[in-house]
Structure 1
Amino acid sequence: MLLAVGVPCRDPEGPDWSCPYRITGHPGVADRVTAIVGVDPVQALQLALARPPHELNDAAGLTFLGGTELMPGGHGS
C-alpha cells in the first residue's frame, strides 16, 4: 500500500487551500486522488494526513491493537 500526499495549493476560485492525497495498492480502497480543503496550507496538509487512516478503516476494515480506531486519542474524525 502506498499513501502519496501532494503539495497544498490555493483554490483558484476562493480563499481556501487544498491538498491532494492518493491511496494505492490496498484491496477495498479505490485508487483515486482526493483533495482535502483547509483555510491555509498547513491545515490542508494536516487534514490530508489525518483523513487516510479513517478512509482505510472504513473501506478495508483495518484495526489497530485489536480496535477499529486507527488514531486513538481523538485525533481527527
Structure 2
Amino acid sequence: MSILTGFIEPTSGTAFINGHDIRTDMVAIRKDIGICPQYNALFDKLTVQEHLWFYAQLKGSGVNDIERYVSSIPTIRGTLF
C-alpha cells in the first residue's frame, strides 16, 4: 500500500492505477485514491475544523472549497460535530 500511495518509491517495476503510472503520475493518482490507516489518524492538538482543513489540503482542495465545506457543517456552542 505504501508503494501504491507514493509513500515509498518502488525499487523496480511499476504499477498502474486508473491508467496512471505510479512512477510518473502520482499527482494524478493521489486525486483519485486515499488510504485509511488502522491507527488513530487524529491529532490531539487539532480541533475538528483544523483536521478538516488539514486533510482537505492534503487531498489538494482549494481554500475557497475548504472554507465553503467547513462553514456548511453545523456547530453546537462553536464546536463542529
Same fold (TM over 0.5): no
Q: TM-score, normalised by structure 1?
A: 0.30
Higher RCO, Cα 8 Å, sep 6+: 1
Q: TM-score, normalised by structure 2?
A: 0.29
Q: When you count strand as a share of all residues, which structure comes out higher?
A: 1
Q: When you count helix as a share of all residues, which structure comes out higher?
A: 2
